[in-house]
Structure 1
Amino acid sequence: MHSPSAMHRLVPEPEEIQQGYELPCEHRRVRGANVRLFTFPDGSQDVSRTVLCLPGLGASGRSFAPMRPLAPEWRFLLWTPPLATPMTHTPLQWNLASLQHPEAGLPERFALVGSSFGSLISLAYALAHPERVKALVLVSPVASVHRVRRWALALSTLVRMPKPFAYLFAPTVARVLGGRQLPPEGRSEIVREARRLSPLELLRRLEDILAADYVESLEHLRVPTLIIHGARDLLVPLSYARDVAARIPGSRLEVLREASHLPYMSHTQAFNAFVDDFLSQHTP
């Protein structure tokens, strides 16, 4: 457990975030780095129903705010990797080790939801520590760079360039990733948080993606798995999500026909219904 001196809770200033994304934030020191953990103030406190959410490349855990309707039933912890992970490890290695560290304060077993880069962390963690993962939800899964469209990966880097380039290109990239139906407040959340990520940290996370190749390991995964994918995803093709689902024993694939790379932000109702149904089956 963490003493009051070991954590600091705050609600960001209203002008810094968009309506619907105002969430309490706990700053937790894990292995010498600052991890932001967002929570739902009206959410369940049942530790046995903990769901840890890992965001995409430049997003924070607050991007999962649209999952709030599920909070009364599930104890959500919205994990945000440090804006600058220690140079002693790659960002992927650091997150994997941190999730296992006592300072993370995670229960012995929990469900795991990962989006894009967060899905890479989630998948690697579930393969290494299946005994701790009750259920796994992969959103727009990234398991091998060979299946990611390189032009979209390159385009996504523009959103984290130093000023003034970030401010010029960020809204366009957010529209590409979020799709036409991503609400303006969701787009603003992605843009605002992505601009905080340094070019060096972006490069290090991209190097993790470029080095990733877990495709051949998927058949060994023994964790109940749900894959949710947007058919209009311009970064990760739908065919890749189908391939990932086919390789994971007993996995379930749900496709949102009108969604793009961020279905939990753009198609909240359908996304939440899939997740709630899946977790209810595998996290009694």
Structure 2
Amino acid sequence: MPARPSRSRPHEFRSGGAALRYAVTGEGDPILLVHGLSGSGRWWRRNVPALAASHRVYVLDLAAYGYGLPPHHRSPGVRGAAALIAALIDHLGLTRVTLIGHSMGGHISIHVAALRPQQVDHLVLACASGLLAGPRARLALNLPRAAVTGRVAFVPRVIADAARTGPLKLWQSAGDLLRDSVQDLLPNLTARTLVVWGARDALVPPAIGRRLAAAIPGARYAEVPRAGHVVMVDAPEAFNALVLDFLAERGEVRA
């Protein structure tokens, strides 16, 4: 039987020298929410209630982010984080997993889906990196534009989470994700995939989302008008509806 952690406190998981923390709510097939660069599990607060009404939701905080371990803990990088989440899936005995990843979290989720094809049934990529390329300086210069094209009331949360992680770790993590392309993994992904993008995303342009969806067999692409890079915060009702409708559709039943 899969492990059933209590909801009364955050849970810590360690493997291979890396660590994360997670909270759990709801019942049903599992959904793992994976935040992005400078993000935290708190970025999903407008989505968890809707998702947890029909699923068991695991809200992850990677080391040095959000409620995760303190900033002095090393970041395992994109591939290290993916290996850690794959190990968590094994530890909890999860099957029929849905991975929902935002930005760097989507990038990580692609790697997890490639590592655990028999356990990951659905993949939702929200404004995901993975095909993003270019110098870190350009990424940094686009951050202010990305902030003002989304929900302005959310900017203090972005600043607070980024400050907790610290500029050095953010700079290192940005370099890691820009060096790591998922291009070769995409044609072999077996999870049913939904790619969701904000039409006003100034950090990872919608053209990258369309390329991502085109490279994944059977993937669906949805663009949310007036939403920016943090699409699940900018347009939570639209995002939740897209995800729940996608999960409710009859997909191929695995043996």
TM-score by length of 1: 0.75
After TM superposition, the structure 1 stretch with the greater mean CA deviation from structure 2, 197-206 or 235-244, is 197-206
Describe the superposition over 1:131-177 as per-residue Cα deviations: whole angstroms up to 9, x where unpaired.
1111000000211232x6966512367xxxxxxxxxxxxxxx3xx33
Q: Is 1:271 aligned with 2:254?
A: no
**Conservation of the 8 A alpha-carbon contact between 2:136 and 2:171:** no
Structure 1 residue aligned with 2:113: 126
Structure 2 residue aligned with 1:165: none
Number of aligned pairs?
241
Matches of 2:152 and 2:210 in 1, distance apart? 27
Q: 2:219 aligns with which of 251, 254, 264?
A: 251
Change in Cα spacing, 1:221 to 1:34, as seen in structure 2 (3 Å) is closer
What SS class does the counterpart of residue 185 from structure 2 fall into?
A: helix
What SS class does the counterpart of residue 45 from structure 2 fall into?
A: helix
The sequence identity of aligned pairs, in percent, is 28
**Conservation of the 8 A alpha-carbon contact between 1:53 and 1:113:** yes
Change in Cα spacing, 1:209 to 1:38, as seen in structure 2 (3 Å) is same
Structure 1 residue aligned with 2:161: 193
Describe the superposition over 1:255-279 as per-residue Cα deviations: whole angstroms up to 9, x where unpaired.
0121110110010111110000011
Larger radius of gyration: 1
Q: 2:132 aligns with which of 145, 165, 170?
A: 145
- Letter of the aligned partner of 1:232 in structure 2? R
Which has a greater percent of helix? 1
Instruction: Please report the RMSD computed on the Cα atoms of aligned residues, expressed in angstroms.
Output: 2.7
Matches of 1:247 and 1:221 in 2, distance apart? 10
Matches of 1:246 and 1:202 in 2, distance apart? 29
What SS class does the counterpart of residue 101 from structure 2 fall into?
A: strand
Q: Is 1:74 aligned with 2:61?
A: no
What SS class does the counterpart of residue 53 from structure 2 fall into?
A: coil
Matches of 2:165 and 2:250 in 1, distance apart? 35
**Conservation of the 8 A alpha-carbon contact between 1:27 and 1:34:** no
After TM superposition, the structure 1 stretch with the greater mean CA deviation from structure 2, 263-272 or 210-219, is 210-219
Q: Is 1:60 aligned with 2:28?
A: no
Structure 1 residue aligned with 2:67: none
Q: 1:51 aligns with which of 31, 35, 54?
A: 31
Structure 2 residue aligned with 1:182: 151
Change in Cα spacing, 1:2 to 1:203, as seen in structure 2 (3 Å) is farther
Alignment of 1:165-176 (within 5 A): 173=144, 176=145
